Each structure stands twice: as C-alpha cells, then as structure tokens.
Amino acid sequence: MTSSYTYSVWRRKTAVAKVKLRSGKGESQINGKKVDQFLHRGDLFSTVYAPLKVAGVYDAYHFEVDICGWGESAQAQAIRHGIARALVKTDENLKKALKWAGFLTRDSRKVERKKPGLHKARKSPSWSKR
C-alpha cells in the first residue's frame, strides 16, 4: 500500500468524516473496520460508493475513513461528501460530473433546538380559551 493519499474532511448533521483516498486496489475501511462490517443497511453501501461509481473510478481507489457523530445515514452522507471532495482534489476533471450528481453540495440542515415553554422545537402546549 502506498503512503500517498488525498485528505478531505466533511460533515452532515453531527457526523464528521475524515477521508483518506488512496489510489490502487486495497481494502476500504471505516473506523478501522471493513465497510461491510461497519455499515449494516444495504442502501448505505450505494450512498458511500456513489461518487466512485459516478466518476467511473470504482476499482481505481480505496479509502480509509475516521467518522464520529451520530446517525448511520448522516455518517454515510458525510463519507460520500468527503470522498467526492477528495476525488476532485485528485482529478479536477471529475468536478462537473460530481457536482451535477449533487455530491459536492453541503447539506447544512441540523436539528432545531428545543425552546423553553414548548414541548419540542416547535410543538406548543394545547391552548383552550376556558
């Protein structure tokens, strides 16, 4: 395995992914585990590998990811975003295809905080006139 890699960090909700993208064949890992051991839902595999498939370099790269934060889906989307950014750093020609697929756009939505006097962020107690 070569020591050179492209490094990228990205976020989604509370998940933060630190991606090291390496060229060549190899074992892709998330938090030191194989991808199939870390991800349990089938739809998340396609989410994680989507940038590599769209760019047409599925067999040309492998990655190591350190992820922290909660939510399987948010973690997978953060990894997808980090891989896409690392691919653009390695080859600027891939930017158009990845941007068109929506992999380079930051989804900044987060959970809204609970306000005092309310049950949840926006749910208020029932109101009656009498």
What is the average pLDDT across 45-67? 94
Is 6's pLDDT higher than 60? Answer: yes
What pTM was computed for the model? Answer: 0.86
Q: What percent of the chain has pLDDT over 90?
A: 77
Could you tell me the two tokens for 129?
A: 């006139």
Residues 24, 30, 34, 38, CA torsion sign: negative
pLDDT for the residue numbered 79: 95
User: pLDDT by residue (tens digit) across 7-32?
Assistant: 988 888 999 999 999 998 889 999 99
Show Cβ contacts of residue 14 under 8 Å, excluding neighbours closer than 6 positions: 69, 70, 71, 74, 110
CA distance to 21, 33, 80, per residue, from 2 (Å) = 11, 19, 22
